[in-house]
């Protein structure tokens, strides 16, 4: 036997509670959640430093990433010095005086493409979307990643210079010339990395990023003044070498190391850095914001 409970008449006559205003609900919720003072928003510099440190921590967990800044520079320097030095100069040691500044540029330019590769990996793993949701300066993730890679470029450059000195390279510009050459090269490398960031966001897989980047870099590095004097090349190839940004960087780095640099040679490098930053950095950020 079932019984039915009938509400009392007094309950039926009770007025319904008035709805709580939405702004009051928000205030109460904020009071509950904000049990302590909210930390200040990080500055742009602090955010870039954090993301740069994150880029370096990747090496700690995946030390195989150091292959491109250790084995690759050593292999390139030794191979070209002793395979082609005797044929292109009187001796490998004489060729090293001309070649080492060029291979320094070539090595670091090749490493820059791994910036786009790392960005593409972050996109595939979903890290990219989580980073974009953080309340930080929007370009910090990209700029910080590139600054972290500059540390890797510096390590590769120091390794090439140390190996060259051990093999007999003697820069006429001394230590100051070598340091200035490295600074100019790092500035150009940072500017060039914007191009690979575009590839990292546009292309679908890390393999395609690597393939397209190599297709762009190979003509720029081998069609330059890194390995031989351009005067030995055909006229049409000399015309390409003369406008090649890699050639201008090699000329400036070589001039700084051997104390023969001119203001015009440095001016061309700074002009190319400005062009790369002005054109490709905004395109990268537009793609970053729209993705």
Going by the DSSP 8-state scheme, the letter that residue 42 receives in this structure is: P
Residues 229 and 88: their CA atoms lie apart, in Å, by: 10
Going by the DSSP 8-state scheme, the letter that residue 258 receives in this structure is: T
Look up residue 33 and give its two tokens: 């959640």
pLDDT given for residue 15 in this prediction: 57
Residues 262 and 256: their CA atoms lie apart, in Å, by: 9
pLDDT given for residue 27 in this prediction: 66
pLDDT given for residue 117 in this prediction: 84
pLDDT given for residue 17 in this prediction: 57
HEC readout, 145-181: HHHHHHHHHHHHHHHHHHHHHHHCCCCCCHHHHHHHH
pLDDT given for residue 238 in this prediction: 92
pLDDT given for residue 241 in this prediction: 93
Look up residue 151 and give its two tokens: 């540390």
How do the domains of the chain map onto residue ranges?
43-290
Q: What angle do CA 236, 103, 260 make, to 5 degrees?
A: 80
pLDDT given for residue 88 in this prediction: 79
pLDDT given for residue 23 in this prediction: 62
pLDDT digits (tens, 9 = 90+) for 190-246: 999 999 999 988 988 888 888 899 999 999 998 999 988 898 889 999 999 999 999
pLDDT digits (tens, 9 = 90+) for 206-216: 888 888 999 99
Under 8 Å between Cβ of 199 and 116: yes
Mean pLDDT of each 10-residue bin along the chain, 291 residues long = 55 56 62 63 79 77 67 84 81 88 90 85 78 78 86 88 92 93 94 92 88 91 90 90 94 94 95 95 86 67
């Amino acid at each position: 036997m079932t019984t039915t409970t009938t509400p009392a008449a007094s309950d039926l006559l009770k007025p319904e509670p008035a709805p709580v205003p939405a702004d009051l609900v928000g205030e109460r919720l904020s009071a509950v959640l904000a049990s302590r003072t909210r930390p200040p928003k990080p500055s742009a510099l602090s955010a870039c430093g954090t993301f740069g440190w994150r880029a370096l921590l990747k090496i700690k967990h995946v030390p195989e990433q150091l292959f491109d800044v250790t084995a690759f520079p050593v292999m390139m320097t030794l191979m070209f010095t002793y395979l082609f030095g005797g044929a292109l100069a009187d001796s490998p040691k004489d060729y090293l005086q001309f070649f080492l500044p060029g291979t320094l540029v070539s090595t670091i330019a090749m490493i820059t493409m791994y910036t786009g590769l790392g960005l593409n990996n972050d996109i595939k793993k979903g890290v990219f979307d989580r980073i974009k949701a953080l309340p930080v300066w929007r370009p910090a993730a990209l700029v910080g990643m590139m600054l972290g890679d500059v540390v890797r470029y510096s390590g590769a450059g120091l390794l090439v210079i140390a190996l060259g000195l051990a093999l007999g390279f003697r820069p006429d510009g001394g230590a100051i010339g070598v340091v200035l050459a490295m600074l100019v090269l790092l500035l150009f490398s940072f500017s060039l990395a914007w191009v690979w960031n575009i590839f990292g966001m546009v292309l679908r897989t890390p393999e395609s990023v690597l393939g397209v980047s190599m297709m762009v870099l190979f003509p720029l590095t081998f069609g330059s003044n890194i390995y031989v004097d351009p005067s030995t090349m055909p006229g049409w190839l000399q015309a390409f070498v003369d406008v090649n940004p890699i050639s201008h960087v090699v000329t400036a780095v070589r001039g700084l190391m051997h104390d023969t640099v001119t203001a015009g040679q440095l001016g061309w490098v700074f002009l190319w850095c400005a062009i790369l930053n002005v054109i490709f950095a905004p395109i990268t950020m537009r793609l970053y914001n729209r993705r």
